[in-house]
Amino acid sequence: MSDALKPRLRKVKILATLGPASSSASMIRRLMLAGVDAFRINMSHGTHAQKAKLVEAIRGLEKEFHRATTILFDLQGPKLRVGNFEGGSAELVKGDRFILDRDRKVGGSGRVELPHPELFEAIGKGDRVLVDDGKIRLKVIEAQDRQITAEVMVGGTISDHKGVNVPDVVVPIPALTDKDKADLQFALEQKADWIALSFVQRPEDVAEARELIGEKASLMAKIEKPAAIDRLNDIIELSDGVMVARGDLGVELPPEDVPPLQNKIVAAARQFGKPVVVATQMLESMVSSPTPTRAEVSDVATAIYDGADAVMLSAESATGQYPCEAVQMMDRIAQSVESDPVYPARVHFTKTHLEPTTADALAGSARQIANTVSARAMVCYTSSGSTARRIARERPAVPLLAMTSSQVTARRLGLLWGVHAVRTRDVENFEEMVAKGKRMALRHHIAKGGERLVLMAGVPFGISGSTNVIHVVRLVGDELERHEAAKS
Residues noted as catalytic: 40, 81, 222, 280
The torsion region of residue 385 among left (phi > 0), alpha (psi -120 to 50) and beta comes to left
Strand partners, 157: 91
